[in-house]
Amino acid sequence: MNILKRGKFLYTFCISFFAALLQLSFAQSVPPAPLSRFGLGDEGRAGTVRNLAMGGTGIATNETNLISILNPASLGGSRLTLVDGSIRYQARSVSIGEASQFNRSGNIGYLFASIPVSPTWNTILGFNSGGEVSYEYFDRIPIVGTPNFTIREISGEGNLNNLNLINGIKINKKLKIGLEAKYTFGSLFYVDTYRADIPGNGLLKTSIVMRNRYNLLTLRTGALYSIPLTGVVPRVLNIGLTVDGGASLQTKQFKVSEQVSVRDNFFANLNDTISFREGAQVQLAPRIGLGLSYQKEGSYILSMDVFHQQWSRYRNDLRPETFKNSVGIALGASWVPSISGNLFKRTAYRIGFHAEQRPIVIDNQRVNDLGISFGFSLPVDKTSKLNVSAIFGRRGANSTIPIFEEYIQINLGYSITDRWFVRFRED
């Protein structure tokens, strides 16, 4: 691809992609997710479209022609410039006891760009969506001595976003190391409302609104070691390791009370700031991940990731909670029938599975998450691919009142792989 055609293609792609993101950002909504009331919301499964199609594996990914954000060491030594972006659609069926609800939504996934700084050093810049909070509960509380009830409504909403800076360095032919700095920012809102409509006394509504604003920094270190295997056909065994944790840079909390009274067509509204808090401590849960992959370059990959996260060390002074440590495993496979031939032979097909014991405990019952995934990467031309993945999963706990979420998430992405920063020598 010459410089002129490459520039036109990149310009067209960027305009189309950001137009889609802009349209989606106006229409996006977060579907009700009861489990999002814990921690910093529902973060979903991390990774690019291709990672997600393989069960979320990628700690031991050693492919220099695709972006993998699960191990910052992955792209060390790549001489290619990569751009990868996605949007997502999700549908969720929520059941609490005998009650159920179905909802769906669309949202922005991520946008990453990988640039070779030197023959051994690669940098990734990008953003992706973080934790999402969206829930609403109702309860009826009898008013003593009367036949009337007070309705209590507890709700939360908001979302966090991430900015990523990832650096990978190739030490030698076998070893790569990397470091990622992730800046998380955004606001989460929590509302606790009591409403009573008493005959003869009118409507009385009292709400406590709490807004928590977060500015967090997470650091992740990673290493990737590749072992060439002898044989008729070259194969490689990759071992990956990641360790991450983080703490707050800046936090703020506003707490406001709102009282509404309606009687005899007279409306009264009284607002008052209860408290303002700044600089509260937030300590994120440290996490360690180990990955293995067995691959034949350009043909197939078999991968497995396991992780352990110390949620017992999680601390949030703005909203104190207690969690249990979590563990998880993911399995994935990718297969390309042929590097030449027709379109479908050159397409990469992927499948995966994940199982996770989450840190949430409801009535002494742990929340578990199980799911399968599928996907493919369809070559559009020599430098770009259309990436698709679908995740089908179920999570929840068989507590006193069983709570479960059955979900489908479809991710649509587009990636460009090319040599943009190459200095040519003229005779």
Q: What is the pTM for the complete model shown?
A: 0.84
Q: Looking at the domain assignment, is residue 14 inside a domain?
A: no
Give the DSSP H/E element, type plus range, for residue 5.
helix 3-27
pLDDT number for residue 250: 75
pLDDT number for residue 348: 93
Which residue segment(s) compose the domain that 393 sits in?
31-192+212-249+281-418
pLDDT number for residue 1: 45
What are the two backbone dihedrals, phi and then psi, of residue 310, each rounded to the nearest 5 degrees?
A: -90, 75
Share of the chain above pLDDT 70, in %: 85
Give the DSSP H/E element, type plus range, for residue 224.
strand 202-229
Q: Looking at the domain assignment, is residue 255 inside a domain?
A: no
Which residue is associated with the tokens 């030197």? 118
Q: Looking at the domain assignment, is residue 19 inside a domain?
A: no
Contact predicate 368/397, CB 8 Å? yes
Residue 377 is part of a domain; what is its CATH number?
2.40.160.60
Which residue is associated with the tokens 């009898």? 142
Q: Looking at the domain assignment, is residue 353 inside a domain?
A: yes
Per-residue pLDDT, averaged over 61-82, amounts to 88
Q: Cα separation of 169 and 181, whole Å? A: 15
Contact predicate 300/246, CB 8 Å? no
| Tally of domains in the chain | 1
Q: How far is CA 186 from CA 37, 112, 156, 355, in A?
A: 16, 20, 14, 29
**pLDDT tens figures, 153-204:** 888 999 899 999 999 999 998 999 999 999 999 999 999 888 877 666 667 7
Q: Looking at the domain assignment, is residue 339 inside a domain?
A: yes
Q: Looking at the domain assignment, is residue 201 inside a domain?
A: no
Q: How far is CA 178 from CA 122, 352, 390, in A?
A: 9, 25, 29
pLDDT greater than 70 at residue 265: no
Task: Look at strands 326-335 and 99-118 and give their pairing.
Answer: unpaired
More confident residue, 72 or 274: 72
Per-residue pLDDT, averaged over 114-133, amounts to 91
Contact predicate 287/309, CB 8 Å? yes
Give the DSSP letter of residue 339. Answer: S
Q: Looking at the domain assignment, is residue 198 inside a domain?
A: no
Q: How far is CA 62 from CA 4, 171, 294, 366, in A?
A: 32, 14, 10, 34
User: Which residue type is seen at 254?
Assistant: F
Task: Quote the mean pLDDT of the chain.
Answer: 84
Q: Looking at the domain assignment, is residue 363 inside a domain?
A: yes
How deeply is 128 buried, as exposed, middle or buried, from its count of CB atoms within 10 A (0-12, 13-18, 19+)?
buried
